[in-house]
Structure 1
């Protein structure tokens, strides 16, 4: 009984994987929400994204400290 259910799960997962790979033609990065072909644009976007997350605590602390004065 356990064997049949594991085969069913394996078949479902395999079908989903094959379908997902087939939708985008097997091209690396085709399923990403941003373009990875222009490396300069990608670098700028990543710097802005990670830089804003890194800089936010510092800006919040600065705002709170200037609010006290």
Structure 2
């Protein structure tokens, strides 16, 4: 039973890699954002990390201002 499971997993991973259409070797090719526009990349990083960092403070403010 273990042999069949590992064979199935190996075939599934091989099929996934072959169908991924990734050429490989190009930095940032598989990322969901563009690395060439540095200003847009900086803005996206500030929004992404700023929202995660600032969320507890906004939640706390909301809770303290509730009547």
Q: Same fold (TM over 0.5)?
A: yes
TM-score by length of 1: 0.63
Residue number in structure 1 paired with 2:10: 10
Which structure has the greater CA radius of gyration? 1
Distance 2:13 2:38 in 1: 33
Unaligned runs of 5+ residues in structure 1 are none
Give the count of matched residue pairs: 65
Partner SS state of residue 25, structure 1? coil
Unaligned runs of 5+ residues in structure 2 are none
Equivalence map 1:10-49=2 (5 Å): 10-20=10-20, 23-26=21-24, 27-49=26-48
| RMSD of equivalent CA atoms | 2.3
Q: Which has the higher helix share?
A: 1
